[in-house]
Amino acid sequence: MAFLRDETGQVIASVKDLVPILALLLRYRDRKIKMKDLVMRTLKRWISTVKPISTSSEFLAWRQQFLPGRLQLLAWVVLIILILVTMLHLTVTIPSLNASGDPKVAFSADRLRAYLANTISQILSVFVGVLITRSRWIRQSPERVFLLFNALVLLPMQVVAAFRGEVSFDSEIWLIYFAIQAILVPVYWQLHLLSQVVAIGYFVTAFSFGWRDPNVVVPAVYLLFGVYTIFICAVANTGVFLYERSCKRELELRQQLRVFIHAVSHDLRNPILGMTMTLKSFVKPSGESSAIPQELLVQLVASGDRQVELINSLLEAHATEVQGLALHRQPIQLAELVNTTVNDFQPFFQQLKTSVYQTISPNLPPINADSLQLRRVYENLISNALKYNRPSLQLTFAAEVVDSEKLGKWGNRQSASRLQHSPLHWLHCIVTDNGVGMTLQQSKHLFDLYSRGRDQRRSLSLGLGLYMCRQIIAAHGGEIGVISSPDQGATFWFTLPIQT
């Protein structure tokens, strides 16, 4: 047995004694790594939560209409609160302080005059703000009126104090006003922040030049209420930001709903109207029998089948969203499945003069998948490429075995991070075309429910195909995405676990 000895040759411990210590150190290292991964995942989730949503013109128009009304409400609320607080101070607070007999808290004649000057100037300023919010300026530039009203509320007392060589520490007013403003005007968090920085920044600047508030006896009050004010401002701005974000998302969903209803009305109504008009043409007022040509019957049946297929797609999308997708897995060879799918599309390829390059090796390891559902993925990707591109398209099918590090190259670094400790190998499948491509914004939403493809002006389909592709691949434990840019074609990729 091996022993550890010191410089004098004395036996300290055997290697066997160190095994528990080494195991403990390894366990500590593993826990440290897991804790680090947990912190990083939590941080990424928080960052994705606060990530801003793109601002649409519809949201900007809504905010432009929303802000004037809320500014008018804010102005009236502030004016009423100021009047009520002033009456409370004059009738209750100041008499109570004077009755206490303590000269430190009692209001002398000079202090009372200073209080009345500050209060009257502030009430008059807020009243001017009320008049401004009811003028035509608020419709022309509500953002400027917002900043002007903040100046009228927060700066008059500072101006009056500046004439006396003092500064007014309005922490209570700041706390109340910034909270009320965030509740009543929960838009434009940037303007909220700017108004707060101006008010607090003026006080800090004046304070650094030696000006003080004579009503503050204990210097620690500056620090204490300053921290409170900064905390309230941070919470208020966060609330405004999250409210704006939720409004943007709500308007975006409403827009998608309108688009979906329009697509449904087009895809369901027009063929049914065509069938109805065709059948009406064979109706005879005399009640005699009519002979309908066989070719026309075939067209009517095909049209009806398409409507049934469309309705089934809607039901399937809803069921998949609620219950998940049921798979019937079995070992399959990807090359054989792709060859069969491509052969079924040969008439369309010949009609549109599409060149197909199938480079998937038959020697790839088998995958444990549902062949019917995986075939639907390829059918949707092929149909999507033929539908949104010009004739003479080039389609390339490829697949290779990859590890998690190589997955990051295809723009799915999150999945690479998630799968880096997985014992599975992955099959990376690619369908590439040299068509018109798409923008990054279109790529982000291409697999969303009811997304309608690359050229929405040419397409009124319900956009269920690529959504179902994502559901199918996700049910298999993989991921799907697209890499594209305008006029540079598109590369659709998805990953599948390999049966080991």
* C-beta separation of 264 from 462 below 8 A: yes
In residues, how long is the chain?
A: 500
Dihedral, 252, 466, 468, 391 alpha carbons, nearest 10: 140
Q: What is the mean pLDDT of residues 372-389?
A: 88
d(CA 257, CA 255) in angstroms, rounded, equals: 5
The residue among 444, 414, 412 whose CA lies nearest residue 428 is: 412
Question: What's the per-residue H, E or C state across the chain?
Answer: CCEEECCCCCEEEEHHHHHHHHHHHHHHHHHHHHHHHHHHHHHHHHHHHHCCCCCCHHHHHHHHHHHHHHHHHHHHHHHHHHHHHHHHHHHHHHHHHHHCCCCCCCCCHHHHHHHHHHHHHHHHHHHHHHHHHCCCHHHHCHHHHHHHHHHHHHCHHHHHHHHCCCCCCCHHHHHHHHHHHHHHCCCCHHHHHHHHHHHHHHHHHHHHCCCCCCCCCCCHHHHHHHHHHHHHHHHHHHHHHHHHHHHHHHHHHHHHHHHHHHHHHHHHHHHHHHHHHHHHCCCCCCCCCCCCCHHHHHHHHHHHHHHHHHHHHHHHHHHHHHHCCCCCCEEECHHHHHHHHHHHCHHHHHHCCCEEEECCCCCCCCEEECHHHHHHHHHHHHHHHHHCCCCCCEEEEEEEEECHHHHHHHCCHHHHHHHCCCCCCEEEEEEEECCCCCCHHHHHHCCCCCCCCCCCCCCCCCCCHHHHHHHHHHHCCCCEEEEECCCCCEEEEEEEEECC
d(CA 456, CA 263) in angstroms, rounded, equals: 10
Domains of the chain, by residue range, sit at: 1-32, 62-253, 330-497
Q: What is the mean pLDDT of residues 388-416?
A: 75
Q: What is the mean pLDDT of residues 394-403?
A: 92
* C-beta separation of 194 from 149 below 8 A: no
Largest CA distance in the chain: 124
Whole-prediction pTM value?
A: 0.57
Residue 463 has what pLDDT? 60
Dihedral, 201, 204, 210, 215 alpha carbons, nearest 10: 110
Residue 370 clears pLDDT 80, i.e. is over it? yes
According to CATH, the topology of domain 330-497 is Heat Shock Protein 90 (3.30.565)
Q: What is the mean pLDDT of residues 196-203?
A: 89
Does residue 285 or residue 122 have the better pLDDT? 122
Most confident range (mean pLDDT) of 38-52, 101-115, 342-356 is 342-356
- pLDDT band at 1, cuts 50/70/90? very low
Residue 494 clears pLDDT 60, i.e. is over it? yes
Which amino acid is it at 479? Answer: E
Residue 105 clears pLDDT 60, i.e. is over it? yes
* C-beta separation of 228 from 186 below 8 A: no
Hey, what are 211's tokens? 């000006």
Sign for the CA dihedral angle at 213, 214, 215, 220 comes to positive
Residue 229 clears pLDDT 50, i.e. is over it? yes
Q: Kindly report the average pLDDT of the chain as a whole number.
A: 79
Tell me what percent of the residues of the chain surpass a pLDDT of 90.
29
